Amino acid sequence: MARALPVGLELTSSHWGAWEVRREAGQPTGLAPWRGDPDPNPIGPAMWAAYRSPLRIQRPAVRAGWLERAPDDPRRGEGRGREPFVEVSWERAATLVAGELRRVIDTHGNASVFGGSYGWSSAGRFHHAQSQVHRFLNALGGYVRHVDSYSLGAGRALLPHVVCPVEYLLANAHDWGTVAAHTRLFVSFGGAPEKNARVGAGGASEHGLRAGLAAAARAGCRFVNFSPVRADIEVPDGALEWIPIRPGTDTAVMLALACETVRAGRHDTAFLASHCVGFERWADYLLGRDDGVVKDAEWAAPIAGVPAARLRALAAEMAATRTLVNVAWALQRADHGEQPFWAAIGLASVLGQVGLPGGGFSLAHGPANTMGSRHRLLPGPLLPQGTNAVEAFIPVARVTDMLMSPGGAFDYNGVSRRYPDIRLVYWAGGNPFHHHQDLHRLARAWRRPETVVVHEQVWNAHAKMADIVLPATSTLERDDIGHGTRDALMIAMRRVVEPPGEARDDYAIFADLAQRLGAADAYTEGRDVRGWLAHLYGEAAVRWAKAGVELPEFETFWAAGGVQVPDNPEPVVGFAAFRADPVANALATPSGRIELYSERIAAFGCADCPGHPAWFEPAEWLGSTLAARHPLHLLSDQPHTKLHSQLDHSAYSLANKVAGREPLRLHPLDAAERGIAEGDVVRVFNDRGVCLAGARFDEGLRRGVVVLATGAWWDPESPGDPSSIDRHGNPNTLTRDVGASSLSQGCAAQTCLVEVARFEGEAPEVRAFELPRFVRG
């Protein structure tokens, strides 16, 4: 049976971890890390003050220009991001939103409504904004949805064709104990950054990456990290070899390692024959039999900027010992992002260690806390979203294309489709003006819909670019249940503080709108929040019972504050069952085996994603002619002081700024060539835009590479104008808004060249954390 938490312990949950609520004289005073977390995330306590910030949205607000103009006025959306707001009552706001939904659906159909929701939203499983908005719109007859994710767009499209869905990899990666006991060579592309593994959807109450890497190093595991950034993986001294690679060239190195293994006769022919299909076709490519180019170490070395001799030696080492090939998610957020994942699978298959304890491939240890967890996979509470009657969808990273080109054609996963004509955007959860690419292009596209409605907690760029802004509660201000994949706890997230101003839960907002639109029964099913929590918990209890784990009754769970999830009875070894019997435990691919050549993908006819792993030169990289004008490769990674743009206004995030702006890390020698001193305000620019950042030196970068973390609230002088400066340092001012390939249409943000110069004169003041203007309605 799941164990109850210690008596008197009051917990709440977040993406960053589990937190004990501190009280004095019965009143909440702050948050402290859960005592069971060996490596707490320092972001979490920053929630306490950040959720009480003056930037919290207090009342519903409507853009003045939207109120003044009719729906068919082409100027209706022109003022988004520039015009003032009018604060209104909830009654008026709900009347306006319900009226717009009814008008748009009756006039243009449900396929004219885009249910935008992308982001980590709440750790709670009921107040999960994406689930709530989708359930609400389905109760009205459906909406245009998105598929895949910015984090894993290319991978999600590719992997089911060649090995398995992403969900299997997230839930069944080797646990850290298995890695420590068996892995003796951890070859990573893009590292395993601790800051990334500090988060987890639904909760991350027991952070394990730091201890897991250290335990493996103590057990004798060696680490080889191909990355432009040395700090992408941190292990004890002497255990790590850093090979600084050109960004975007990892696939070439993996192909060379596979080629060298095959040419030396070290490949596992028995495993390739019994567990894989298509090796012979791929070998023709590796050995140059189909194009005359042998993909060996000498071929890859000048592409990647790494020594050929080291690649040849490493290939031999990998074949001689238990090796785990680890590939960070960032690598597939690039031109031809499918290829590094597929090449890693191919390399691990050639070595023949897939399914062995500590061997094979991982995609990946490091991007989130889930991978490597020792806890059981038990499905937690899940709010049903209903049935969507609208067939139209887009790959998530193609939202700008959809708004700009209604009726335009796009390819996705082997099928040609068309973009719908969107008249109303309803967004709850996430911030597109943080995570999308080429934000000025998005801002121009954002003017086209007739109405944009958002639920937000704070006055960030997302809220300022909307027409109707509805204030939403935060995690600390509502009752919920927290539970993450393979996490240590299921938490009764009892409300800690009252919401500010007139903020409401998403559920309360949608229930009100559903009542006005005649969909209350379909949306609420007659339940209030407490009724839903008990219902969802009961459904989870049935699923846990089938897995042999008993949960207490809901009221007992709620009073106790949560339960601890039991550990796995056996070590977690990815693909162990498949290796043991590839027939009885066949994969969900067309062949049931690992596909090193995919007949299905080949039949799609994608020129930019053929039937086997292959090297393609990126559109922008340090080996291209464009590097003459923009000679620095910009990497936009996950920040360590926030989760994407969440809590950028917190004291913890603000303390990391340089001159009030997001820090740009660059090599001191690259800075010296440009006359840049540490702490200077710098211009980061290319043909897509320009942003200001604060210079911070980092000798652990490959020369020619700069790093600007995502998450700075976008702060442009004039949204939509590429010549206007983002004063705060959001890298997506500069990144490319193109699909990774015609197979996936995934995000390609990491394929980006820039130049950097010292800002001369007085830098403009950052205005990201100012309230919008308000006028009387």
Active site residues: 118, 120
Strands (E), 335-464: 360-362, 393-395, 409-412, 415-418, 424-428, 451-456
Do residues 176 and 154 lie in contact, with contact meaning Cβ atoms separated by under 8 Å? no
Beta carbons within 10 angstroms of residue 54's beta carbon: 11
Alpha helix ranges (H) inside 55-89: 64-68
What whole-number distance in Å separates Cα of residue 516 and Cα of residue 508? 13
First to last CA, the chain: 58
Largest CA distance in the chain: 78
Do residues 586 and 593 lie in contact, with contact meaning Cβ atoms separated by under 8 Å? yes
Find how far residue 510's CA is from the centre of its chain. 26
What whole-number distance in Å separates Cα of residue 158 and Cα of residue 112? 29
What whole-number distance in Å separates Cα of residue 114 and Cα of residue 393? 9
Sorted by sequence, the CB contacts under 8 Å of residue 223 that are 6+ apart come out as 186, 188, 213, 217, 233, 235, 239, 240, 241
Amino acid at site 181: A
What separation in angstroms does the CA of 435 have from each of 442, 463, 568, 645? 11, 14, 35, 8
What whole-number distance in Å separates Cα of residue 96 and Cα of residue 470? 11
What whole-number distance in Å separates Cα of residue 104 and Cα of residue 214? 57
Sorted by sequence, the CB contacts under 8 Å of residue 397 that are 6+ apart come out as 148, 150, 153, 436, 437, 737, 739, 745, 746, 747
SS3 state at 268? coil
Element (H, E) at 664: strand 663-666
What whole-number distance in Å separates Cα of residue 582 and Cα of residue 277? 12
Amino acid at site 571: P
Q: How many residues does the chain have?
A: 777
SS3 state at 665? strand
| Pair type for strands 145-147 and 393-395 | parallel
- DSSP 8-class letter at 128: -
**Angle, CA 50 vertex, CA 735 and CA 651 arms, to 5°:** 75
Amino acid at site 211: A
| Closest by Cα among 236, 240, 237, 149 to 191 | 240
| Closest by Cα among 620, 622, 154 to 343 | 154
What separation in angstroms does the CA of 617 have from each of 56, 252, 608? 45, 10, 11
Could you please report the per-residue DSSP string of 508-520?
Answer: HHHHHHHHHTT-H
